[in-house]
A = this chain, B = another copy of it.
Amino acid sequence: MSDQPVGYKLTERQRLDWLRLSRTEGVGPRTFRTLINRYGGASEALEALPTLLTRNGRIGRVTTLAEAEDEMATGARYGVRFVAMGEPDYPRYLRMIDSAPPVLCIRGVSPVFERPGVAIVGSRNASASGLKMAEHLAEGLGRQHCVVISGLARGIDARAHRGSLQTGTVAVLAGGQDRLYPAEHAELLDAILETGAVVSEMPMGWEARGRDFPRRNRIISGLSIGVIVVEAAMRSGSLITARFAAEQGRDVFAVPGSPLDPRSEGTNDLIREGATLIGSVEHVMAALAPVLGRDDWPPQAQESHLDQGEEPLWDELELDERGFEDAPTTLALRPKRNPVALGGDDDGTYADTNELTPKELLTQLLGPSPVSINDLVRLTGRSVSLVQTVLLELELEGLIERHGGGLISIMPLEGTLVLNSAP
């Protein structure tokens, strides 16, 4: 999607189709991209979806045109613009991340996204010095023409927004644009809108729930060239934002504190893991200097191993086409019928595979232990796009399971696995 020209603006009908597709249950950012790539457009993907879904109950019904129109009408009343990835108004840093939202709901002043964003995040129950630090950094970054990005939470987030109200700040919501959390920040939100922006990828009317917050955090880091964690306990959401930032190739900064204060455990740990210790805006700007003004920045994101061993952030097919590099090279093969003849060379390449359809071959190669698409491509000798397409079919049939790092395994079923070899 990031190949789409920056200046390309959707028609209203295309925008509605993008919204419909992105709002369809089971279609997250990666599935969206896969479908668009496969069918050439949102409209075509929407047409194909019902036939793709007949064999599989895992994906809910497709969002209707009327529902999408309703959401856009509701949004309009709140001053929300629905901006598709690749459109000129879509924030340029966010577009580079692996899981960029297909459609972003934006309120406020769009040009704010043309300036470099720096996120300031931290504890809700911050210390006085943490709050002071957040405000001080936000003010200073504003003076340096940066836009402060944060999550509108109590504590550090709110203070970071307040410190940069004059120069411009962006709040990223975990719920819909009409569902403010926490409610006490209504006035702060209004102030933010005057010079900055409020964004969300969630539908109008959506109440934020548990996993929406870490999911939201990838947008906070994605909008930023660097993320500053001011105070953070162990296992706090701010550390998730920091991890996203690192995986997205963004700088991670942490404000240290006394090891005797649990609110500094997370930031001190980040520093031990390689984050840059900062105590002033000068420290931040010195670290960002090589990045600011570079055309080839931000780098293409690598979020591949993000979900490994964790609850996924989306109910989606996880049809990601990237992240194969990180996959293990060991393979657990489980030939089931018509054992495949190995080629003459010793590298394990299956050379003589003409008697099987690609789908049969892939099904045969897959086992309960996750393997990488890279390895499947190598072992089948077929093209990446063919393997991807077959895997999409297998997935829509509920026969395979996606794991983090681009790994795939056979879906564990009770009893013997019976393959459905129909098209």
Contacts and interface: CB of A to CB of B under 8 A. Distances in A.
A283 interface: yes
Interface in A251-277: 255-261, 264-265, 268, 271-272, 276-277
Contact of A279 (B268, B276, B278): B268
A273 to B, nearest CB: 10
Contacts of A277: 256, 268, 271-272, 277
A166 B125 CA distance: 39
A138 to B, nearest CB: 15
Nearest to A267: B256
A256 B280 contact: no
Nearest to A283: B272
Contacts of A259: 133, 255-256, 278-280
Given A268-B277, A271-B271, A283-B272, A129 B258 contact: yes
A278 B260 CA distance: 11
A135 to B, nearest CB: 12
A258 B260 contact: no
A262 to B, nearest CB: 11
A132 interface: yes
A271 B258 contact: no
Nearest to A257: B258
Interface in A290-338: none
Contacts of A279: 259, 265, 268
11 contacts: A129-B260, A129-B261, A132-B260, A133-B258, A133-B259, A256-B259, A256-B268, A257-B257, A268-B279, A271-B271, A272-B277
Given A129-B258, A259-B279, A272-B276, 18 more contacts: A129-B260, A129-B261, A132-B260, A133-B259, A133-B260, A255-B258, A255-B259, A256-B256, A256-B259, A256-B277, A257-B258, A258-B258, A265-B279, A268-B277, A268-B279, A271-B271, A272-B277, A277-B277
**Nearest 7 A-B pairs (CB), nearest first?**
A259-B279, A256-B256, A129-B258, A129-B260, A271-B277, A272-B277, A257-B258
